[in-house]
Amino acid sequence: MREAAVSTIRESRFDRLFGAFNVTVLLLVGLVCLFPFYYVFVISFTTPEEYRQGGLLLFPKTWTLVSYEYLLSTSTFMRATGISAFLAVVGTLCSLVITSSLSYGLSRKRMRGRKPLMFLILLTTLFNPGIIPGYLVVKELGMIDSLWSLIIPVITSGWYVLLMKGFFDSIPVGLEEAARIDGCNDMSVWFRIILPLSLPSLAAFGLFYAVSYWNTFFNAVLFINDTAKWPLQILLQNMLIDSSTAMGGAAASDTGMASIPSETKKMAAVIISTIPILLVYPFLQKHFAKGAMVGSVKE
């Protein structure tokens, strides 16, 4: 007994040390994650003159809204933001309608052929035919340069269907039967029982969809040539990246801005584009496990 007590004390000293080490390392990890945000935030409020003087800038002498005022008065920037907002709202709604109705149908035992259909849907997550065949389909459908090309080709996915079907599977059948006895038909069961019941879950899927529509980039590179239809991420690319490297000579004219934007304006654009994500972030957090299952296998 006494020996055991001694050994606990000795180990707990080591354990305390380990605990302290652990906390320190994780604090550092947290700092590394946050620092870029802080730095970008600070730069976006710095006057361009102070930024150009150089030196290690961790806290500006004067805070200014100049960069934000400039961006918010630039029609190109506002238009691109509007397009991304449209994608996030309309795209998310469309995605939720298509994904939820498909997964609900496939979760009902009465549905004929639901097993082979589910298998075929899951097969699409395993084999990816590559960029070009998908591009040709969108092209043949005449969707190039239409904003629908950024919604319809990614409107749902096998993983989302799988997860949402799992959710519908968990709704007890008895609930539906009770409603039927009360005189509901399939349609009213769907609209009056199932949908209201799944609102919290749909909201969770919706948030993940919304973030991915807001961040749409690759499909816009493929499908959108018309600069008037650029979503925010493409405009950001032209502002932030092309103008930083030698290739981006044309960036200023493409973005409709007077000159190559200064670093402070670029960072203000980064902050503006991040704000919607930060706003939905607390709500997203509740549903991380679900999203991780989609995210971790998707990429």
Partner 1 sequence: MKVNVESLQAKQDKASLGLRLKFKLLNEGKLLKRDLFLYLLVFPGLLYFLVFKYIPMWGVLIAFQDYSPYLGFLHSEWVGFEHFQRLFSNPEFYRIFRNTMAINLLSLVFFFPLPIILSLMMNELRLQWFKKTIQSIVYLPHFLSWVVIVGMSFLMLSQSEGVINQLLVVFGYEKIDFLTNPDYFWILLTLQSIWKEVGWGTVLFLAAIAGVDTQQYEAAKLDGAGRLKQMWHVTLPAIRNVIIILLILRIGHIMDVGFEQVYLMMNGAVSEVAEVFDTYVYRVGILQAQFSYSTAVGLFKSFIGVALVIFANWLAKKMGEDGVY
Contacting partner 1 within 174-193 (CB under 8 A): 185-187, 190
> Is residue 130 a contact residue for partner 1 (CB under 8 A)?
yes
Q: Contact between 215 and partner 1 (CB under 8 A)?
A: yes
Q: Are 210 and 216 in contact (CB under 8 A)?
A: no
Does residue 111 interact with partner 1 by CB under 8 A? yes
Size of the site for partner 1 (CB under 8 A): 104
Q: Shortest distance, CB of residue 109 to partner 1, whole angstroms? A: 11
Kindly tell me which residue out of 65, 78, 89, 131 binds partner 1, with binding defined by CB under 8 A.
131
Least separation in angstroms between residue 72's CB and partner 1 is 18
Piece in contact with partner 1 (CB under 8 A), picked from 65-73, 85-93, 149-157, 252-260: 149-157
Distance (Å, rounded) from C-alpha 66 to C-alpha 46? 8
How many alpha carbons fall within 13 Å on the CB side of residue 21?
Answer: 6
* Nearest to partner 1 of 169, 263 (CB atom): 263
From the list 93, 98, 171, 252, which residue makes contact with partner 1 (rule: CB under 8 A)?
98
Q: Is residue 99 near partner 1 by the rule CB under 8 A? A: yes
Identify which of residues 73 and 245 has a Cβ nearer to partner 1 in the complex: 245
Q: Which 1-60 residues touch partner 1, going by CB under 8 A?
A: 4, 7-8, 11-12, 14-15, 18-19, 22-23, 25-26, 29-30, 32-34, 36-37, 39-40, 43, 51, 54-57
Alpha-carbon span 175 to 177, nearest angstrom: 5
Choose one: 68-76, 196-204, 238-246, 251-259; the region binding partner 1 (CB under 8 A): 238-246
Least CB distance to partner 1 at residue 200 (A): 19
Applying CB under 8 A, among 112, 119, 142, 170 the residue interacting with partner 1 is 112
Question: In the complex with partner 1, which residue's Cβ is closer, 74 or 264?
Answer: 264
Distant-in-sequence contacts of 185-191, Cβ < 8 A, 24+ apart? 190/101, 190/104
Q: Which amino acid is at 149?
A: S
Among 116, 129, 196, 200, indicate the residue that binds partner 1 (CB under 8 A).
129
133 binds partner 1 (CB under 8 A): yes
Q: Does 203 help bind partner 1 (rule: CB under 8 A)?
A: no
Task: Verify binding: residue 244, partner 1, rule CB under 8 A.
Answer: yes
DSSP the chain: -HHHHHHHHHHHHHHHHHHHHHHHHHHHHHHHHHHHHHHHHHHHTB-HHHHHT-S--SS-SSB--HHHHHHHT-HHHHHHHHHHHHIIIIIHHHHHHHHHHHHHHHH-TTSTTHHHHHHHHHHHHH----HHHHHHHHHHTT-TTSGGGGTGGGS--HHHHHHHHHHHHTS-HHHHHHHHHTT--HHHIIIIIIHHHHHHHHHHHHHHHHHHHHT--HHHHHH---GGG--HHHHHIIIIIITTSTTGGGHHHHTT-SSSPPHHHHHHHHHHHHHHHHHHHHHHHTTHHHHHHHHHHH-
Shortest Cβ 190–partner 1 spacing (Å):
7
- Asked if 249 interacts with partner 1 (CB under 8 A), we say no
218 binds partner 1 (CB under 8 A): yes
